Amino acid sequence: MAPSHLAFLVLAVPAASAGFIALFLRRQGGLASAVSVLAALAVAAGAGWLSLHGPRFEASREWLRLGGLTVSFGINFDDLAALMLAIVALVGLCVHVFSLGYMRDDEAKARYFGGLSIFMFSMIGIVLADNLFMMFIFWELVGFSSWLLINHWYERPSAAAAAKKAFIVNRVGDFGFLLGIILCYHLRGTVNLTDLAAQASSGAAPFSRAIPLLLFCGAVGKSAQLPLQVWLPDAMEGPSPVSALIHAATMVAAGIYMLCRIQVLMVNPALTVIMWVGTATALYAALCAIVQSDIKRVLAYSTLSQLGYMVAAFGMGTYFQPQADGSYHTASGVSAAMFHLTTHACFKALLFLGAGSVIYGCHHEQDIFKMGGLAGRMKLTFVTFTIGVAAIIGFPFLAGFFSKDAILALAFSSNRAVFALLALTAILTAFYMVRLWKIVFFGATRSEAAAHAHEGGGVLTGPLVVLGALSVVAGWRRFYPAAFAGILNNVPEAEGRAHGIVLGVSLTVLLIGAGAAWAFYGVSGPDALELRAPGLFRALGALQQCFDRCYGWYVAKVQQRLAMALNFLDVIGLSGLVVRGTAGLAGLAGLGVRALHVGRINAYVYWFLGGVALLWLFAAGIL
């Protein structure tokens, strides 16, 4: 079978699974879960083959033609897409299998698995898309699946509110994205990525700061950068596997992926903005994570922080340098961002699934100050979670070490201020992750639920083992298949003296952060920071709340008033005047005509006279 057909199948199988579940299997949760997992398996197999052995190709078909605008449906399967597809398929499969165990007792399994299938379809669509319109369509679909899945336990008002918030905040970013697409079409005449690259290589492209910045708005929304990061912590209302898949490994990485795709449009001023937004997000999220007490929220802020790293890496390293033969060299920023994205997908999914296992074991308790002492009770989870923590804080020779080093090296050579801030963030990362690790797994159990904790069974621990193994090896680039060399061959590495400095800095921040957290936090009692430095604790809490408060104020004071004014206009103006007014006019006309029907012949003859008079006036030349 031709590779383009296989790619199309990889795209269509989850959609078919979702459709089948939605139409026929609404009530059969078990069957639905089987269908969905089989679909994920098929996707993983197809994606694996395509990425590792398949050729790189492009295929497209025209879909709509509106005047001069052509929207086509196409697949652009280059190295970048291959890498991302492999990540999405693999992590997706792990999450599907984990969900079999985690959602075993849930009532709405069918809806959940249908949502997972739709998500896989949408995400693969983003990965494979060859033009910005198609990407935007799937972008919105991903937002919808995210809403659907966050909203899984919709009877909880907090879950419903969180889902709405996620969708609306994403929409704000997508507005910028759409404006960027329109502007791109207007200025460049095409939204096809290959054509844009060709334009850039030939040097005929007009300079535009607005296009990349507007398109970046989409990434700000989807990848939860400042100031649109408010939805990600609340999105933890969804089940843990959903958080693992969507809000850690894949959907939020879609923003990074999109940035890498549009690297040909980047210009230096835009890149500077992107770099600073990423750095600010990384630092802000790390600060907020220190004071969280919900296990998933800590991980959510950690995700935010790592995404900031990826965005900053992209911003620092991506100078588009076309080659003489029309191709382009993958920029170092793209390589660094994608490398970190790969390793982050592995260990963040591992951490979230581990958290899911912990939550499941503690009978759905999510407050870390009610856990504790789980190291002895849930051994496999403990081991894999430790691997995940070590990976994320940059423990030598695990996955995060290499990718974070690459970013730090890039920062060292581009912008020392950013380097300093990213190093500070690394300290904080180590700090809060070790805090989490210690409080959850060590010491005496703090509650009844933790005392009865137990492992969830093979279905829950299997994916953990797989992802744990990946987290260990994902950093060693020589283990990567040659298929991905195109993207990962330009990962920045410091040379000579800089190499030593960067290595030294990364090890130092690891030791400082981890050591401080281990020493500072006790294994029992409430949050040590709260106890000993309540002012700082409250300040960090306020930092976390300030964005939500701003938006809340804006919505309540500005937007609601505007909405009420518009509502007034709508009810009085449109419904009242235009719609009912026209109806009223017709009614009045009807009344008027009806009043003429008096039934008396006299009256009719008078009207007759009127008509005759009119005719006479006409004939006499007066009218």
Partner 1 sequence: MGQFLFSFFAVFSALCAAGVVVCKNVVNAAMCLLLCLLGVAALFIRLDAFLLAFLLLLVYAGAVVALFLFIVMLLDTRGQEAPQARRGLTVAPRVVAIALVGAGIASLALRGRLVAPAAAAVPAVGASLKAYAYLLFTTYLLPVEIISFLLLIAMLGVIVLSRREGEHSGYGN
Partner 2 sequence: MLPETLNSYVLLSAVLFGVGFLGVLVRRNTLVIYMCLELMLVASTLALVAFSRFNGTMEGNVFVFFILTVAAAEVAVGLAIVVALFRRTQTVRVDRLDSLKN
SS3 387: helix
Residue 599: contacted member of partner 1, partner 2, none (CB under 5 to 8 Å, by partner type)? partner 2
Min CB(559)–partner 1 separation in Å: 60
Contact status: 593 vs partner 2 (CB under 8 A): no
Min CB(612)–partner 1 separation in Å: 8
Min CB(592)–partner 1 separation in Å: 18
Our CB check for partner 1 shows the closer of 523 and 613 to be: 613
Our CB check for partner 1 shows the closer of 49 and 607 to be: 607
Task: Give yes or no for a contact between 521 and 438, defined as CB atoms under 8 angstroms apart.
Answer: yes
Residue 497: contacted member of partner 1, partner 2, none (CB under 5 to 8 Å, by partner type)? none
Q: What DSSP designation does 190 have?
A: -
Residue 614: contacted member of partner 2, partner 1, none (CB under 5 to 8 Å, by partner type)? none
Q: How many CA atoms lie within 13 A of 524 on its CB side?
A: 5
Our CB check for partner 1 shows the closer of 498 and 612 to be: 612
Residue 533: contacted member of partner 2, partner 1, none (CB under 5 to 8 Å, by partner type)? none
Contact status: 597 vs partner 2 (CB under 8 A): yes
Min CB(588)–partner 1 separation in Å: 23
Q: Which of 364, 478, 497, 600 forms a contact with partner 2 (CB under 8 A)?
A: 600
Residue ranges in contact with partner 1 by CB under 8 A: 606, 609, 612-613, 616, 620
Task: Give yes or no for a contact between 447 and 370, defined as CB atoms under 8 angstroms apart.
Answer: yes
Q: Which of 601, 619, 622, 623 forms a contact with partner 2 (CB under 8 A)?
A: 601
Residue 597: contacted member of partner 2, partner 1, none (CB under 5 to 8 Å, by partner type)? partner 2
Residue 613: contacted member of partner 2, partner 1, none (CB under 5 to 8 Å, by partner type)? partner 1
Residue 568: contacted member of partner 1, partner 2, none (CB under 5 to 8 Å, by partner type)? none
Helix (H) or strand (E) holding 25: none
For every residue of 594-608, which 3-state class applies, written as one string? HHHCCCCHHHHHHHH
Helix (H) or strand (E) holding 58: strand 57-66
SS3 212: helix
Q: How far apart, in whole angstroms, are the C-alpha atoms of residue 240 and residue 376?
A: 22
Min CB(608)–partner 2 separation in Å: 9
Q: What DSSP designation does 324 have?
A: T
- Tell me the helix, strand and coil percentages in the chain, rounded to 5: 75, 5, 20
Stretch that binds partner 2, among 64-72, 115-123, 299-307, 594-602 (CB under 8 A): 594-602
Our CB check for partner 2 shows the closer of 534 and 590 to be: 590
Residue 511: contacted member of partner 2, partner 1, none (CB under 5 to 8 Å, by partner type)? none
Q: Which of 598, 614, 615, 617 forms a contact with partner 2 (CB under 8 A)?
A: 598
Q: Where are the alpha helices (DSSP H) in 266-378?
A: 268-289, 295-317, 332-361, 374-377
Helix (H) or strand (E) holding 330: none
Angle between helices 379-393 and 458-473 (to 10 degrees): 30
Our CB check for partner 2 shows the closer of 553 and 618 to be: 618
399 token code pair: 């996955």
570 token code pair: 């709508």
Stretch that binds partner 2, among 148-156, 373-381, 479-487, 599-607 (CB under 8 A): 599-607
Angle between helices 496-520 and 399-414 (to 10 degrees): 120
Residue 478: contacted member of partner 2, partner 1, none (CB under 5 to 8 Å, by partner type)? none
Closest-CA residue to 254 (of 152, 162, 125): 125
618 token code pair: 């006409």
Min CB(607)–partner 1 separation in Å: 11
Residue 620: contacted member of partner 2, partner 1, none (CB under 5 to 8 Å, by partner type)? partner 1
Our CB check for partner 2 shows the closer of 324 and 601 to be: 601
Concatenated DSSP letters for 441-468?
A: HSSS--SHHHHT-----HHHHHHHHHHH
Q: How far apart, in whole angstroms, are the C-alpha atoms of residue 311 and residue 540?
A: 24
Task: Give yes or no for a contact between 427 and 509, defined as CB atoms under 8 angstroms apart.
Answer: yes
Contact status: 605 vs partner 2 (CB under 8 A): yes
Min CB(589)–partner 2 separation in Å: 15
Count of positions on this chain that bind partner 2 (CB under 8 A):
11
Contact status: 594 vs partner 2 (CB under 8 A): yes
Contact status: 602 vs partner 2 (CB under 8 A): yes
Our CB check for partner 2 shows the closer of 364 and 594 to be: 594
Omega before 3 cis (within 30°)? Answer: no
Task: Give yes or no for a contact between 97 and 38, defined as CB atoms under 8 angstroms apart.
Answer: no
Our CB check for partner 1 shows the closer of 52 and 598 to be: 598
Task: Give yes or no for a contact between 16 and 9, defined as CB atoms under 8 angstroms apart.
Answer: no
Q: Which residue is associated with the tokens 């795209």?
A: 11
Min CB(614)–partner 1 separation in Å: 10
Min CB(621)–partner 2 separation in Å: 17
Residue 598: contacted member of partner 2, partner 1, none (CB under 5 to 8 Å, by partner type)? partner 2
184 token code pair: 């791109």
Min CB(111)–partner 2 separation in Å: 58
Our CB check for partner 2 shows the closer of 569 and 605 to be: 605
Task: Give yes or no for a contact between 88 and 121, defined as CB atoms under 8 angstroms apart.
Answer: no
Please calculate the CA angle 439-443-444 and round it to the nearest 5 degrees.
110
347 token code pair: 């260990």
Contact status: 606 vs partner 2 (CB under 8 A): yes
Our CB check for partner 1 shows the closer of 565 and 613 to be: 613
Element counts in the chain: helices (H) and strands (E)? 27, 2
Contact status: 614 vs partner 2 (CB under 8 A): no
Our CB check for partner 2 shows the closer of 478 and 600 to be: 600
Q: Which of 577, 609, 615, 617 forms a contact with partner 2 (CB under 8 A)?
A: 609
Q: What DSSP designation does 57 have?
A: E
Residue 594: contacted member of partner 1, partner 2, none (CB under 5 to 8 Å, by partner type)? partner 2
Cβ neighbour number for residue 496 with a 10 Å cutoff: 7
Task: Give yes or no for a contact between 20 and 72, defined as CB atoms under 8 angstroms apart.
Answer: no
| Footprint of partner 2 (CB under 8 A) | 594, 597-602, 605-606, 609, 612
